[in-house]
């Protein structure tokens, strides 16, 4: 359970769900939103556990991960300031079907599931807003299924690195090779070789627990079509994608 809190400037303004709230919904919810600082690796949800909170990332980036019976994991969704995590389970007073953890540390706003559910029951505007964002998150997960089945490790790695950079707006992506292996769904040794190839092509520079993207255009050219497909889904469903081109 995440208990660290952060007190300071208003951090609701970077999250696109909170920014899109109608005035009545903002007034109803703002007193119940709590800022939290999320550290790398913080687990927010586990499979089969009740979802008591929803998280609106601000500067943090979260990963939604499918956990197999033998312990292997693969990421299906990356969520940053453009969306929200836990919303479908929260609205249904249900349990999580996946693990959600902090991929890149930063700030988020937290709201109790019961409070969100009560306001959504009272507000059609809020229900529609949350439905659009949930649809965008599901579309990304569906795209990941196709991506993992059809595209090369190098293409998938470029896609995930670009998506992580989009959500932090920083050329330096703070990700270890172990996290990258989870994101792409391969062994760490495979990720090591793929990173070495991107480094040799002068697309990235590696550091300890970080990847510096040197050639954005080159990375986009090497990434699979799924990167642009996810961007298009976000634009169509919520009217915004993290990277504006």
Run of H or E residues at 36: strand 34-38
95, 229, 81, 39: which is closest to 167 by C-alpha? 81
pLDDT digits (tens, 9 = 90+) for 173-187: 888 888 888 888 888
Distance separating alpha carbons of residues 33 and 25, to the nearest angstrom: 12
Distance separating alpha carbons of residues 197 and 50, to the nearest angstrom: 42
Least confident range of 60-64, 162-166, 169-173: 169-173
pLDDT digits (tens, 9 = 90+) for 142-156: 888 888 888 999 999
120 pLDDT exceeds 50?
Answer: yes
**pLDDT value for 230:** 87
218, 225, 193: which is closest to 203 by C-alpha? 218
**pLDDT value for 85:** 94
pLDDT digits (tens, 9 = 90+) for 8-66: 334 457 899 999 999 999 999 999 999 999 998 899 999 999 999 999 999 899 999 88
For residues 69 and 194, which has the higher predicted lDDT (pLDDT)? 194
Contacts (Cβ under 8 Å, ≥6 apart) of 58: 11, 12, 14, 15, 35, 81, 106, 107, 108, 109
Q: What percent of the chain has pLDDT over 90?
A: 53
134, 141, 48, 57: which is closest to 97 by C-alpha? 48
Distance separating alpha carbons of residues 213 and 202, to the nearest angstrom: 9
- Phi then psi for 31, rounded to 5 degrees? -70, -15
pLDDT digits (tens, 9 = 90+) for 199-220: 999 999 998 888 999 999 999 9
**pLDDT value for 9:** 37
Determine how many CB atoms are found less than 10 A away from the CB of residue 32. 15
**pLDDT value for 3:** 37
pTM for this prediction: 0.83
- Show the tokens assigned to 226: 């799924």
**pLDDT value for 55:** 97
pLDDT digits (tens, 9 = 90+) for 97-118: 899 999 889 999 999 999 999 9
C-alpha dist (Å) from residue 186 to 74, 192, 244 = 8, 10, 30
Q: Residue 74 forms beta bridges with which residues?
A: 66
**pLDDT value for 141:** 85
**pLDDT value for 243:** 58
**pLDDT value for 157:** 93
Q: Where are the alpha helices (DSSP H) in 64-123?
A: 87-91, 113-122
pLDDT digits (tens, 9 = 90+) for 124-135: 999 999 999 999
Q: Are 110 and 180 in contact (CB under 8 A)?
A: no
Structural domains in the chain, CATH included, are 16-123 (2.60.120.10), 148-235 (1.10.10.10)
Q: Are 137 and 91 in contact (CB under 8 A)?
A: no
């Amino acid at each position: 359970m995440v208990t660290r809190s952060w007190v300071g400037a208003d951090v609701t303004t970077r999250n696109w769900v909170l920014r899109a709230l109608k005035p009545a919904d903002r007034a109803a919810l703002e007193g119940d939103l709590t800022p939290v600082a999320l550290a790398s690796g913080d687990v927010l949800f586990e499979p089969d556990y009740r979802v008591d909170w929803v998280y609106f990332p601000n500067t943090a980036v979260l990963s939604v991960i499918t956990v197999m019976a033998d312990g292997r994991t693969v990421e299906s969704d990356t969520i940053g300031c453009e969306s929200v995590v836990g919303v479908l389970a929260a609205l249904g007073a249900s349990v999580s079907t996946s693990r959600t953890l902090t991929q890149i540390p930063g700030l988020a706003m937290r709201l109790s599931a019961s409070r969100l559910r009560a306001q959504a029951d009272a507000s059609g505007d809020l229900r529609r807003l949350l439905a659009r964002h949930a649809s965008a998150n599901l579309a990304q997960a569906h795209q990941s299924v196709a991506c993992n089945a059809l595209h090369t490790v190098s293409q998938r790695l470029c896609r995930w690195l670009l998506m992580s950079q989009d959500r932090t707006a920083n050329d330096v992506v703070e990700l270890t090779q172990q996290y990258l292996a989870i994101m792409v769904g391969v062994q760490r040794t495979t990720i090591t070789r793929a990173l070495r190839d991107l480094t040799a092509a002068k697309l990235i520079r590696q550091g300890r627990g970080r990847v510096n993207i040197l050639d954005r255009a080159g990375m986009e050219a090497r990434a699979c079509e799924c990167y642009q497909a996810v961007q298009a889904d976000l634009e169509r469903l919520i009217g915004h994608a993290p990277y504006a081109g």
